[in-house]
Structure 1
């Protein structure tokens, strides 16, 4: 060390520190100055029962703290084991039954001993969900009308579906009116019901299929110079704007009522929660079908309104998808009797896909938004195609998830939710055909033809079970329909 910084009364050397130095400083042996120590013992029968006591020093000694609390002992025999059932197991009854190899009462199944009721009493349970029949039939009619490979008589088959849809719609409306007149207060109760009220928008979805079917099977029958054609086109324009106003009001009012009138658990999320936004979203689909034949002065407002409504519906659906996926991750798939409703998730991306392509194709060939050659019809059609392919893959993903869910545990009894296996999938097939036409790809077009056959077969399958369910009282019976809490 530098002598300039060394104290005159201190000396440093390189020898190591010895205990005797501490002895001299403390006036005695440092080892003799140790106080009593707390020594940790190995413990008794259970390791967690280790305690501390005053004993001899060893390498595990701890200095006594006079302010320390008394020894803390854990008796492991009194500790309950961690439960091995997760929230998923505690909610999904099917998983519990599979685990315990026990069968429990399934509230969704028909009771073989249930008594027969007269039709008048069963009419009380004729719910809004019956419009899923008409919207699916109308969707099949529209699907048949846009087939890329046609044969003689195909349009006639599609026209039969269109007329059948009108017939079913009239029958369902008649029974609904009869129900509401026979049972006073049933109309208000049906709209306010936490489950049946969600199916009220299916009425407007049926109206949407009637509008598109009228365009495909009625308007096209008139020549361009026919005086009736101009009147029919004006009627279609009026119907479109009336539909937009009504469905937007439904989306606002019904969701507002659901927010304040009911409490839904996210662990019980069902795709039917998307239904209130579905009708206004299909305004874009209607615009893509009817706009091309409208005069220019009414075509552009229809396209703008259709694009806005389609964006509204799809955006709300995307928000709902987050809760839907979260529910599937947390508590698993829905009850097997309602897994057909999972196909509702296929609808928003599918209908948005076909709406983009249809509305872009409805633009005039010489369309130029700013008259500068930048945002012209060709660019918009390309952007629509790219966006459609993006959305089609999302729809395909939801489609496959729904198929796996249904096949994993097939439903035993019929419910009107089975029609969800038809209507949303018609949009998926139409979107597939629209992409094939835009890409001019024959393979995709033939895939669309094959999927159309599957949809028609599924429609016949569900219709058969629907009729059978009415006959054997699986539906339209107390506790068996959408007018009871699920």
Structure 2
């Protein structure tokens, strides 16, 4: 018995040594794997890191829709300068210069966007429903509306009846296009994307934004139209403004939920929070502007048999509606201003900075309209102060924008709003012969 135990001892010892050795080497391999994983992640992040040097065509491949926020801001500023109550010699000329520059900038941006889509055709469809870039497609159409505004403000004295007829035709063309954009883009987002409420931003309103400026556009060009055309334009302006305001109001609720339950946006994109000022501002401005012209468009007993003319009733209702909304825009303005100032030390330039101008231009226009109907010198002074502030912010934003382009902080692979487009390489050069890039259109999410 003892001999059997002694004879088995070497085998047991050898088995124990083997087991311990295997445990040791397994532990070493796990440690090695843990050390290798960060390294592999680092190597992967290096591949995904924006390149240090790129060519012009690679930069143009990243000219995104948010760039039209610059033309939208320039046009909005020109409209404000053409309506501001306290004027001085040369102010109209300054406004006209902004208008001309806006047209040049808009044509240039159209050329750059066409170049981008020629270089990378797959980005045409991808850019329209991209969860970041796609939201800004509406800025293109708002830019057009503001150009039409300026065409009447600065061109009515130097042109003939052809301008009024042209504006009538383009007004309805614009309304049709803006309505299609508002329906089609939201339908694409509902079907193709899944946006999180914790990331809700006012930019979610942008697909309907082109209709938010229809009221102010109609109110501006109505005086030059014939009786029949102006009545139809008046009704259309009320219809489309109402649609845009209600859709915006629905998104306001989601945005407030995000602010109450999640973190604030990063400091660099906080200027985009000013977009929340625009819907209330432009709606108030549009309603008051249209209301002031109701007595000349609506006959005395069009709807009722009262002694008070129906046009005057509509005027009072429209003015009260605008005054009811305007302080809502100021509420968002002050909240956003406080939040932006709180993070100003950590703020770097992004195209969101253009939101310093165009939404607040709507607030300024609403203040101008309210000052007129209330005949308030104090409100006229506030409107003038806001106008000066808009000019200053436009100059600051323009300087920082040019600086960012020069330094490669924007319009650069991996640094723009399209950087997360799946299966699309950096730009023109990266997509040459890239078979995976063709699949971008096939990435259609199944219903949840």
TM-score (norm 1): 0.74
1:446 aligned partner: 381
User: Which position in structure 1 is the counterpart of 2:153?
Assistant: 216
Post-superposition Cα deviations, 1:208-255, rounded to whole Å, max 9, x if no partner, equal 110101010112334xxxxxx222111101000000100100011110
Aligned residue runs from structure 1 range 135-150, under 5 A: 135-150=72-87
Partner of 1:408: 342
User: 1:424 aligned to 354, 359, 371, which one?
Assistant: 359
Residue 374 of structure 1: how far off its partner (Å): 4.1
When residues 216 and 113 of structure 1 are mapped into structure 2, their CA distance, relative to the original with a 3 A threshold, is closer
**C-alpha distance in structure 2 between counterparts of 1:358 and 1:337, whole Å:** 35
Contact 1:180-1:187 at 8 Å conserved across structures: yes
Of 246, 250, 256, the match for 1:315:
246
Map 1:304-383; keep pairs closer than 5 Å: 304-365=235-296, 367-368=299-300, 369-370=302-303, 372=305, 373-374=307-308, 376-383=310-317
- 8 Å CA contact retained: 1:194, 1:485: no
Q: State the partner residue of 2:323.
A: 389
- Taking the TM superposition and a 5 Å limit, the aligned residue runs for 1:180-219 are 180-219=117-156
Q: Helix, strand or coil: the match of 1:220?
A: coil
| Partner Cα distance (2:244, 2:323) in 1 | 18
Decide whether the 8 Å contact of 1:201 with 1:250 is kept in 2. yes
Report the aligned-residue RMSD.
1.8
State how far apart, in whole Å, the 2-side matches of 1:121 and 1:286 are: 38
Distance 2:157 2:321 in 1: 29
- Residues 422 and 455 of structure 1 are in contact (CA less than 8 Å); yes or no, is this contact kept in structure 2? yes
Q: Deviation per CA, 1:336-369: give whole Å up to 9, x if none.
A: 1111110000001100101011111223447423
Between the aligned partners of 2:319 and 2:369, the Cα distance in structure 1 is 9
- Aligned pairs for 1:84-103 (under 5 A) are none
Q: Does the 8 A contact of 2:71 with 2:143 survive in 1?
A: yes
Matched, 1:462 2:393: no
The DSSP-based 3-state class of the residue aligned with 1:125 is: coil
- Structure 1 residue 485 displacement after superposition: 3.9
Superposition TM-score, scaled by structure 2 size: 0.80
Query: What's 2:197 paired with?
Result: 266
Query: Aligned partners of 1:184 and 1:443: how far apart in 2?
Result: 53
Query: Which of the residues 220, 240, 244 maps onto 2:175?
Result: 244
Whether the aligned pair in 2 keeps the contact of 1:413 and 1:474 (CA below 8 Å) is no
Distance 1:361 1:140 in 2: 23
Corresponding position of 1:256: 187
* Higher deviation after alignment, 191-200 or 166-175: 191-200
The verdict on how the C-alpha distance between 1:114 and 1:185 changes in structure 2, with shifts beyond 3 A counting, is: closer
Partner Cα separation in structure 2 for residue 444 and residue 459 of structure 1: 22
Q: Secondary structure at the match of 1:117?
A: coil
SS at match of 2:67: helix
Q: Distance in 1 between the 2:49 and 2:83 partners?
A: 45
Q: Deviation per CA, 1:106-132, whole angstroms, max 9, x where unpaired? A: xxxxx9996132221111111011100
| Residues in 2 aligned to 1:135 and 1:375: alpha-carbon distance in whole angstroms | 38
Asked whether 1:481 is paired with 2:416, we answer yes
> Computing the radius of gyration over CA atoms, which structure comes out larger, 1 or 2?
1
SS at match of 1:150: coil
Q: Distance in 1 between matches of 2:176 and 2:49?
A: 46
- Match among 210, 229, 246 for residue 279 of structure 1: 210
| Partner SS state of residue 115, structure 1 | coil
Q: Does 1:291 align with 2:222?
A: yes
CA distance in 1, matches of 2:264, 2:319: 33
Cα distance in 2 between the residues matched to 1:482 and 1:375: 52
Aligned CA distance change for structure 1 residues 187 and 112 (closer, same or farther; 3 Å): closer
Unaligned runs of 5+ in 1: 1-110, 223-228
CA distance in 1, matches of 2:85, 2:414: 45
- Does residue 368 of structure 2 align to residue 433 of structure 1? yes
The 8 Å contact of residues 195 and 484 in structure 1, kept in 2 or not, is answered as no
Structure 2 portions without partners, runs of 5+: 1-47, 422-448
